[in-house]
Chains A and B, each alone.
Chain A
Amino acid sequence: MAITIKVNGIDRTVDVDGDTPLLWVLRDVLGMTGTKFGCGMALCGACTVHVDGAATRSCVTPIDSIGKSEITTIEAIGGTAVGTRIQKAWLEQEVVQCGYCQSGQIMSASALLASNPHPTDADIDDAMSGNICRCGTYVRIREAIKHAAQSN
């Protein structure tokens, strides 16, 4: 069935089953491959996008559950003030290694800072522990979030 969702400010109409996870609509139907597949069970956070600003695992989010909510993906997060700061901090702290999980990390981190401009270590743990990084860049992710918060 035809379903319209708003992705990065643009209405997109796709013809898929309503229970199709948003992740596959983004990646395979709309060709927006910045959002990554990691586990399919909301265990690793690689697929994190924002739904109305909230960090959301797109691999378990059926497309028919989105309605009029606004989806933001890694491709557009640099268009927000918080997203720009996070990306800049990520580069300054040289966070990335293989980089595969970093789209999801950046989406979780930017949602955190948008709602909590000066997070404590415990806040960072709470917001970021759903995102696995197999390269183990956690030390730098934590530092980058703090730097981004300070640059506010």
Chain B
Amino acid sequence: MILDRLNSGAAGLSRSPSTNDFSRRSFLQAGAAAGGGLMVSLCLPFANRGEAAEGDSFAPNAFIRVGGDGQIVLTMPYVEMGQGTYTSIPMLIAEELGVDLSRIRLEHAPPNERLYGNPLFGGIQATGNSNAVRASWEPLRQAGATARTMLVAAAARRWSVEPASCRAQSGEVLHEPTGRRATFGELAADAARMPVPERVVLKRPEDFKLIGTSAKRLDAPSKVNGTAVYGIDVRPPGVKIATLVQSPVFGGRVKSVNDAAARSVRGVRQIVRLDDAVAVVADHMGAAKKGLAALAIEWDDGPHAKVNTQAIVAELEQATLNAGAVAQNIGDTNKAMASAVTKVEAIYQVPFLAHATMEPMNCTVHVRRDGCEVWVGNQVIPRAQATAAKITGLPLDKVIVHNHLIGGGFGRRLEIDGVTRAVEIAKHVDGPVKVVWTREEDIQHDMYRPYWLDRISAGLDANGMPVAWDHRFAGSSVIARWAPPFFNNGLDPDTTEGAIDLVYALPNIHVEYVQVEPPGIPTAFWRSVGPSHNVFVTESFIDELAAAAKQDPVAYRRALLDKSPRAKAVLELAAEKAGWGQPLPQGFGRGVSLQFVFATYMAQITEVEVSRDGAIRVHRVVCAVDCGIPVNPDTIQAQIQSAIMFGITAALYGEITLKDGRVEQSNFHDYQILRMNQAPAVDVHIVPSRESPGGMGEAGTSAVVPAVTNAIFAATGKRLRKLPVDATALKRPG
């Protein structure tokens, strides 16, 4: 999802943060750090629009602190959940400061949206949307360069020499003509008294020493020896362990509880009954789970007791017969369609999906009369703090949130339902309590990637090329709930990403979205969100058009890319590296996809084998990516490898279904995840670029799904328009 374009709505803030023409003084501040040393703070226009309107008193958005001991501390507004942000973000600072990455220490930013609001996330202090590097690219390098300039100025004044005759390297300032040198630590206090430079010069890309190199992940060592502390690992003194069961039907209530047997379980300390959940508090999770199994609960299922998937799909299908909000309209699609030589139409659909992060939902809370402490790994810390304050009735500043490493986010931890639950329970418990969800609760009470259903049609000319493209789809808008100000006129930028602004030259295109919220079922962001659906539909459909035109899928796409040179380049690179067009064994097929989402161009080509029994094996995925300047190439490779496995899991297995208001899946036996023996080889080719960086965490997921189904079509001639793929439909006789 991209919220970037929404920034333009704020008066005076129409320039994208990626442009390089801000007045430095308007958003960089510097001065003495508490306890001495130099502190450089910066703020981004969007996160501070209130102040922008009032004049030049900007509050800072992030902090670099250079201590008297030379230690450089970066207050990190982003949380680490595997995407490598703890490495790539400090690289930006270290590059301009001229220090080794190892010299930078990270501190989690406290919850404070005024200071740490994400400019590419509508000013919300959140980690997601594949945008940390994009949001930080200019401002963090500016901050590093400003600190460097002031340190050099302090040294120059001390030595009574011209600043231009000094340079910063490896944590010190050096005056080459005389050989004098001083460490950053020695200079920090003086540097803090230097005027903030009005303009600083950023390094030219050809001078980068760190950016563009594969820096080692700073969080890796603790993750191979068991010492990394995730939210689920915290152990405040005296902590009890709780687990819970929530109403199996969304919106249901507890009618009665017989907890006699649970109370008699050894180690069980307390049963907490909430309106719609029951928790067992114990000495350890073993006892808590045993206690939970011993509870006899009668539920009032409430209004959603009869909800089932078929009814939801029927409603979506009906909704696509009515007009929706127009997301994009170019040319005159109706007219072009009427005069087309050939018309192709299809209905596509994608299911609800759970996140199934490896670290199950959990949150530890200690509610006291005068304050509340929360320990959690979460992508939206200010919201975690706010919900704890609301439930406890405490003022915001009495709620302390300790953020921790995240054992898989994928959008699940952009939600605070788990924090809310834990605080509700902790209010009844004397002392700290760690609430750990069983995997069954985690899957059956997730907040799901929405079900979407699409009606799409195209008109082709005599050469088989598209002259009209008409696409209407229905489903939930996550943004409408999560960030209501960004849902306007029936549209939001996430739900439509990948359905509009296609890379192809389409003279007449019309795209509509119909918001339909499923009854009682909570929906949420899920790795690549809108594109996870839209790219599957559009890239499958363009493949259908190529087939209708009896043309090669790569050649067909390429012919539509004259105005998208970066898209064309990744397509051609992927085709070349994958050996597109070369013969394959019987039962194999190659499939291609091409997209521009999260500000990154990507093409993927898969090699898929379909056995006679319909079993599908993805053997190889070749990916060409142009994500602008590659900050940490190895992380880019890793994120694409990761996103591909995530997407194949969704294409082949992912599906949450409902019956009688209940989620039917419960654990990894019926909500399958791709495993080692099913994982393809992945080749990633990064296109060299000097454009500003694009997003990297999610793009690979949306791209691989249609590349797999297009390969299945190539192998079998069967077009699969509904996910996950139905292997039984692919069985061949004999």
A69: interface (CB < 8 Å)? no
| Residues of A contacting B287 in the complex (Cβ-Cβ under 8 angstroms) | 16-17, 20, 24
A35: interface (CB < 8 Å)? yes
Q: Which of B663-716 contact A (CB under 8 A)?
A: 667-669, 673-679, 681-682
Please tell me which one of the listed residues A24, A41, A99, A128 contacts residue B439 in the complex, with CB atoms under 8 A apart.
A41
Whether A25 and B286, one on each chain, are in contact in the complex, defined by CB atoms closer than 8 angstroms, is yes
In the complex, what distance in Å separates the CA atom of A19 from the CA atom of B227? Answer: 27
Whether A78 and B406, one on each chain, are in contact in the complex, defined by CB atoms closer than 8 angstroms, is no
A124: interface (CB < 8 Å)? yes
In the complex, what distance in Å separates the CA atom of A145 from the CA atom of B409? Answer: 26
Whether A129 and B358, one on each chain, are in contact in the complex, defined by CB atoms closer than 8 angstroms, is no
In the complex, what distance in Å separates the CA atom of A138 from the CA atom of B675? Answer: 8
Q: A43-B668, A94-B216, A98-B408 are in contact. Are A74 and B226 (CB under 8 A)?
A: yes
Q: Which of B89-105 contact A (CB under 8 A)?
A: none
Q: Which of A79-101 contact B (CB under 8 A)?
A: 87, 90-91, 94-101
B638: interface (CB < 8 Å)? yes
| Residues of B contacting A20 in the complex (Cβ-Cβ under 8 angstroms) | 284, 286-287
| Residues of A contacting B289 in the complex (Cβ-Cβ under 8 angstroms) | 40
Whether A75 and B225, one on each chain, are in contact in the complex, defined by CB atoms closer than 8 angstroms, is yes
In the complex, what distance in Å separates the CA atom of A92 from the CA atom of B642? Answer: 18
Q: Which of B479-513 contact A (CB under 8 A)?
A: none
B464: interface (CB < 8 Å)? no
| Residues of B contacting A32 in the complex (Cβ-Cβ under 8 angstroms) | 226
B646: interface (CB < 8 Å)? yes
In the complex, what distance in Å separates the CA atom of A23 from the CA atom of B229? Answer: 17
Residue of A nearest to B648 (CB): A136
Whether A39 and B668, one on each chain, are in contact in the complex, defined by CB atoms closer than 8 angstroms, is yes
A56: interface (CB < 8 Å)? no
In the complex, what distance in Å separates the CA atom of A141 from the CA atom of B223? Answer: 14
Whether B667 and A100, one on each chain, are in contact in the complex, defined by CB atoms closer than 8 angstroms, is no
In the complex, what distance in Å separates the CA atom of A130 from the CA atom of B225? Answer: 20
| Residues of A contacting B405 in the complex (Cβ-Cβ under 8 angstroms) | 98-99
In the complex, what distance in Å separates the CA atom of A56 from the CA atom of B221? Answer: 24
Please tell me which one of the listed residues B226, B439, B678 contacts residue A75 in the complex, with CB atoms under 8 A apart.
B226
Whether B676 and A138, one on each chain, are in contact in the complex, defined by CB atoms closer than 8 angstroms, is yes
Which of B77-85, B297-305, B577-585 contacts the other chain? B77-85
Q: A97-B83, A134-B673 are in contact. Are A103 and B358 (CB under 8 A)?
A: no
Which of B108-116, B230-238, B331-339, B468-476 contacts the other chain? B230-238
Q: Which of B211-247 contact A (CB under 8 A)?
A: 214, 216-217, 219-221, 223-230, 232-233, 235, 241
B641: interface (CB < 8 Å)? yes
| Residues of B contacting A130 in the complex (Cβ-Cβ under 8 angstroms) | 675
In the complex, what distance in Å separates the CA atom of A101 from the CA atom of B357? Answer: 10
Within the complex, the shortest CB–CB distance from B675 to chain A, in Å, comes to 5
Residue among A102, A136, A141 with the most chain B CB within 10 A? A136
In the complex, what distance in Å separates the CA atom of A33 from the CA atom of B682? Answer: 33
Within the complex, the shortest CB–CB distance from B26 to chain A, in Å, comes to 37
Whether B675 and A100, one on each chain, are in contact in the complex, defined by CB atoms closer than 8 angstroms, is no
Residue among B217, B229, B406 with the most chain A CB within 10 A? B217
The interface size of chain A toward B, counting residues with CB under 8 Å, comes to 62
Please tell me which one of the listed residues B227, B284, B358 contacts residue A132 in the complex, with CB atoms under 8 A apart.
B358
Whether A41 and B669, one on each chain, are in contact in the complex, defined by CB atoms closer than 8 angstroms, is yes
| Residues of B contacting A139 in the complex (Cβ-Cβ under 8 angstroms) | 641, 679, 681-682
Q: Which of B274-299 contact A (CB under 8 A)?
A: 283-287, 289-290
Chain B interface helix/strand/loop/mixed: loop
| Residues of B contacting A74 in the complex (Cβ-Cβ under 8 angstroms) | 225-226
| Residues of B contacting A44 in the complex (Cβ-Cβ under 8 angstroms) | 358, 668, 673
| Residues of A contacting B228 in the complex (Cβ-Cβ under 8 angstroms) | 99
B645: interface (CB < 8 Å)? yes
In the complex, what distance in Å separates the CA atom of A32 from the CA atom of B84? Answer: 26
B426: interface (CB < 8 Å)? no
| Residues of B contacting A75 in the complex (Cβ-Cβ under 8 angstroms) | 225-227
In the complex, what distance in Å separates the CA atom of A23 from the CA atom of B644? Answer: 31
Please tell me which one of the listed residues B360, B407, B641 contacts residue A99 in the complex, with CB atoms under 8 A apart.
B407
Whether B676 and A98, one on each chain, are in contact in the complex, defined by CB atoms closer than 8 angstroms, is no
Whether B359 and A96, one on each chain, are in contact in the complex, defined by CB atoms closer than 8 angstroms, is no
User: B-facing mask of A20-48, CB < 8 A → 1, else 0?
Assistant: 11011101110111111111110110100
A3: interface (CB < 8 Å)? no
| Residues of A contacting B457 in the complex (Cβ-Cβ under 8 angstroms) | none
| Residues of B contacting A19 in the complex (Cβ-Cβ under 8 angstroms) | 290
B602: interface (CB < 8 Å)? no
Whether B675 and A37, one on each chain, are in contact in the complex, defined by CB atoms closer than 8 angstroms, is no
In the complex, what distance in Å separates the CA atom of A60 from the CA atom of B263? Answer: 23
Please tell me which one of the listed residues A34, A37, A106 contacts residue B360 in the complex, with CB atoms under 8 A apart.
A37
Q: A97-B82, A97-B84 are in contact. Are A140 and B638 (CB under 8 A)?
A: yes
A142: interface (CB < 8 Å)? yes
Q: Which of A5-27 contact B (CB under 8 A)?
A: 16-17, 19-21, 23-25, 27
In the complex, what distance in Å separates the CA atom of A135 from the CA atom of B287? Answer: 30
Q: Which of B432-481 contact A (CB under 8 A)?
A: 436, 438-439
| Residues of A contacting B227 in the complex (Cβ-Cβ under 8 angstroms) | 34, 75
Whether B646 and A136, one on each chain, are in contact in the complex, defined by CB atoms closer than 8 angstroms, is yes
Please tell me which one of the listed residues A73, A96, A132 contacts residue B668 in the complex, with CB atoms under 8 A apart.
A132
Whether A28 and B673, one on each chain, are in contact in the complex, defined by CB atoms closer than 8 angstroms, is no
| Residues of B contacting A96 in the complex (Cβ-Cβ under 8 angstroms) | 82, 217, 219-220, 223-224
Residue among A38, A43, A135 with the most chain B CB within 10 A? A135
A-B contact list, 10 entries, CB within 8 Å: A17-B287, A20-B286, A27-B233, A38-B359, A44-B358, A75-B225, A94-B638, A129-B678, A132-B673, A136-B649
Chain B contact residues, CB within 8 Å of chain A: 81-84, 214, 216-217, 219-221, 223-230, 232-233, 235, 241, 266-267, 283-287, 289-290, 356-360, 405-410, 436, 438-439, 634, 638, 641-646, 649, 667-669, 673-679, 681-682
Q: Which 7 pairs, one residue from A and one from B, show the smallest C-beta to C-beta distance? A: A34-B226, A136-B645, A100-B407, A98-B82, A99-B223, A97-B82, A28-B284
Given A21-B286, A99-B219, 7 further pairs, Cβ under 8 A: A34-B225, A38-B359, A98-B406, A99-B407, A100-B230, A135-B642, A142-B679
